[in-house]
Amino acid sequence: MRNEISKGLVQLFEYQKAFQKLLGIDKLPVDDPQAMQLHLLGLVGEIGEVLQADQRWKTNGRNTHFDFENKKVEIADCFIYLINVCLFSGISAEEITESIIKKIDENYMRKIGG
């Protein structure tokens, strides 16, 4: 299963790296704190757009706005920005996959008391 997870993420990273190459950035991943900061701020903005697409999280009882299609697009934007955060932090798809799996494993162990 880990191999399948990694393959999908590697493909996404490669696709995004190809797009970044169109923008003139040839060597990724690379440790570039300023570029990472810009993409991290973009991610924060996109998270806000997810919240706007689905306002049912508001507990005042008046907010029923839910645009499922737009929510999917905004979540996709979040993933793209997060991939860029990795790429401009010098983190490969394989490295982040292993970190994610390790973290999920830790969460499992906390939940089941292991």
96: domain CATH number is 1.10.287
As a whole number, the mean pLDDT across the chain is 94
Confidence label for 62 from pLDDT (cuts 50, 70 and 90): confident
Give the Cα separation of 80 and 32 in Å (integer).
Answer: 17
Structural domains in the chain (count): 1
The average pLDDT across 64-73 equals 96
Residue among 37, 35, 32, 42 nearest 77 (CA): 42
- Higher-confidence residue of 114 and 83: namely 83
Are 47 and 22 within 8 A, CB to CB?
A: no
Q: Biggest alpha carbon distance in the chain?
A: 49
The average pLDDT across 86-93 equals 98
Q: Which domain holds residue 66?
A: 2-112
Q: Does the pLDDT at position 1 exceed 80?
A: no
DSSP assignment letter at 61 = S
CB atoms closer than 10 angstroms to residue 7:
12
DSSP β-bridge partners for residue 89: 31
What pLDDT does residue 114 have?
62
What pLDDT does residue 3 have?
74
The average pLDDT across 31-42 equals 98
